[in-house]
Structure 1
């Protein structure tokens, strides 16, 4: 008999983002407390394998690791691979972060590398500032990124060390702080300056100070965690964790290999998940095999119109078919063209992803998906119901839906006032069994 799950609100709460978790803010997903309580209440055996196919900043893998469980986290965004790996850094590594940062800064001050004119840091920063930031990144890469991560013919970010990933996260935070003038009212979107706008000129001393402060804060917090762990009864067992760069629509996982899925797939709200990490992708540029635009096209929920023709599939369920038919007939501009095609792309990728997730699950395993509804103009997109139907079409049994009402970023869009629809959104926790 399966244990009863403890389902807290999946809404992110800034008050809960303290300690080590506070260094990994992410606009999507759920809080660590939500993940930890769910996994604990599932009463899984010690050999259980946990999967998060949309791992994001690594909340599921971090919580599972802390409970001694084996986990697999996948994400298509290289930035999220770095963030998730940094989050898993053992507290025992706290003491050498600051000395490493000091050495990296010393080399960066001594000589900056020749800046490539196509370096995307130049989208936001003047050449002197961009060159110093790239100098920090270059020295970080030279000191801590070995041939297992970057070889002449390929890059394997899943092999990057936790220490290197942590220092990259510290540099990400510096750049995100500096580009605040280019943030929009939508917290998921960072714009690039127009041609006529001045790029940012920040002194190397300021950049170095911010970087040092970030690393010092991370080191101190990790040391406090180490001290707390030393006072605990018995040594906490840390679960094995794999963080891999992968597209969920084509991911390869062994059949019947997963005991529990805990994830939050991309919402159908036309959020460009790469635009939210533009500055981090710029920092990572030398380690990437693709550019931000190409990466954005691969994402579920891409705002780029796919070139291929996609037909409505019966495996998407009746609710999805009705919504798409209404969208195609909607009188607003581009509904039957651009917006219809982007929604087809979303549901095609989502259906293929859930099929692969289902194939990887063991008999009697469970999957918990956090999904949010939305509106297209005045049309309700009941994504939780659609995902429930897609899951059933792909061999899962739908067991429970628990709803939580929350404020929605779409409410800040002035255009929504033209349509009669409720404020806020419903975030649903969907429970399936295999």
Structure 2
């Protein structure tokens, strides 16, 4: 009989995001403590493989690695690949981050690049500021991104070194701070400036200070972690970890190769995950083969209408079918057109992803999914129940469900007051077995 899992609240708590974890404040996912308690209570055998098919900022892979476990993290967003790889940087590397950053800044000051007129950074910054930011990025690339990442068949961000990834994250944070005027009330959304709006101007010394301060803080946090590890005699060696840039709906994993899944799939709340990382994608522009819009279309929960016609599938379950029928008939504008089609796209991708996840799971393996419900106008989208039914259709058995009530991002939308519905949301921890 499998041991009973210890399930804490999956709600992220900013007060717990301190030290090294505090440098990865990306939206969604679950806290490190939640993942740690789950994985430790699972009592997995040595050599067990943990999978997170929506790895995001890399909480699952970081905790698994820290516990000496083998793990695989998959994500479609290149920014999240960089962030997850940075998070895995060994504490022993803390000492050389600051000298590296100083050298990179020195080169950026002495030889700013000629900026391409199509550089995505120009969407936010005036040319001189954009050129200096690109100079920092270019020198990170020249110094730390080698032939394994930049191979003849294209860029492989999932092979980027932890050191390079960490410096990219420091630059991400500097740029995010600079573009603060373009944040909205929704913390997941960074709007693009209008054509008539002035672009941001920041002195080189300001940009350099933001970047250097981030590197200094990350170095100090890693050094503190190293000191803490040295005080613990039986600290496990970091486990092997693979971070792969891939689409979960078409990911290739060997059948029966995974012992345990811990993940949080994208919620069906019309969050544009590429819009949430717009500035980071702009920084990564030279390393990307796919533009932000094309990338957004591939995402689960895309706000773009799918080009192909999609029909409701029996494998989506009865709850999903009833919700989609009600959505299609809803009297509000575009419900039966745009919104219906984007929801079809969401459930199609989700079902195909869960099928591949289930196929990868060993007989007797377990999958833990953190899923949040939502509302479309006044229609309850009971996503935990929908995901439960999809899982069963693809060979999984729901063994346990724990619900946690929390505030919802939709509560800040003034339009929600038009419809009668409860405030907040239910975040459910679904425990499946194969």
Residue 233 (structure 1) shift = 1.2
* TM-score relative to the length of structure 1: 0.99
Q: How does 1:272-291 map to 2 (within 5 A)?
A: 272-291=272-291
- Alpha-carbon distance in 2 for matches of 1:59, 1:170: 18
**1:151 Cα offset (Å):** 2.4
Considering only aligned residues, what root-mean-square deviation do their CA atoms show, in Å?
0.6
Given that 1:46 and 1:68 are in contact with CA atoms closer than 8 Å, whether structure 2 keeps it comes out as no
> How many Å separate the matches in 2 of 1:235 and 1:246?
32
Q: Does the 8 A contact of 1:158 with 1:243 survive in 2?
A: yes
1:36 counterpart residue number: 36
Cα distance in 2 between the residues matched to 1:236 and 1:328: 53
Q: Which residue of 1 aligns with 2:156?
A: 156
Does residue 122 in structure 1 map to residue 122 in structure 2? yes
Specify the alignment match of 2:266 in structure 1.
Answer: 266
Counterparts of 2:269 and 2:292, CA distance in 1: 19
- Cα shift readout 1:36-55 (whole Å, capped 9, x = no counterpart): 00000000012100000000
Partner deviation per Cα, 1:370-418 (whole Å, 9 max, x = no partner) = 0000000000000000000000000001111110000001011111000
What is the CA-CA distance between 1:152 and the residue it aligns to?
4.0
Residue aligning to 2:432: 432
Q: Does 1:377 align with 2:361?
A: no
In the alignment, which residue of structure 1 is the partner of 2:240? 240
CA distance in 2: counterparts of 1:399 and 1:319, whole angstroms: 19
Q: How does 1:299-310 map to 2 (within 5 A)?
A: 299-310=299-310
Rounded Cα–Cα distance in structure 2 between residues aligned with 1:377 and 1:384: 18
Deviations 1:150-182 (A, max 9, x none): 124400011100000000000000000000000
DSSP 3-state at the match of 1:212 = helix
Aligned to 2:80: 80
The aligned counterpart of 1:4 is 4
Return 5+ residue gaps in structure 2 as ranges: none
- Aligned partners of 1:269 and 1:301 also within 8 Å: yes
SS in 1 for 2:341: helix
**Off by >3 Å, runs of 4+ in structure 1:** none
* 1:427 alignment partner, SS class: strand
Cα pair 1:372 1:428 within 8 Å, conserved:
yes
1:27 Cα deviation from its structure 2 partner: 1.0
Measured against aligned partners, the alpha-carbon deviations of 1:99-151 in whole angstroms (never above 9, x if no partner) come to 00000000000011110000000000000000000000000100000010012
Partners of 2:63 and 2:227 in 1: CA distance? 19
Equivalents in 2 of 1:224, 1:265: separation in Å?
32
5 Å-filtered alignment, 1:90-169, equals: 90-169=90-169
For structure 1, list consecutive stretches of 5 or more residues without a partner in the other structure. Answer: none
For the residues of structure 2 that align with 1:237 and 1:2, how far apart are their CA atoms?
25
Superposed CA deviations along residues 36-88 of structure 1, whole A, max 9, x for unmatched, are: 00000000012100000000000000010011100000000000000000000
The Cα shift of 1:235 comes to 4.3
Which stretch shifts more, 256-265 or 151-160?
Answer: 151-160
Q: Which residue of 1 aligns with 2:339?
A: 339
Alpha-carbon distance in 1 for matches of 2:233, 2:375: 50
- Measure, in 2, the Cα distance between the counterparts of 1:49 and 1:230: 26
Query: 1:154 & 1:233 partners in 2: Cα distance?
Result: 43
Paired residue secondary structure (1:271): coil
The answer on whether the counterparts of 1:8 and 1:34 sit within 8 Å (CA) in structure 2 is: yes
SS in 2 for 1:164: helix
Equivalent in the alignment of 2:193: 193
- Give the TM-score normalised by structure 2: 0.99
C-alpha distance in 2 between matches for 1:102 and 1:34:
37
How many residue pairs get aligned? The number is 434
1:417 corresponds to: 417
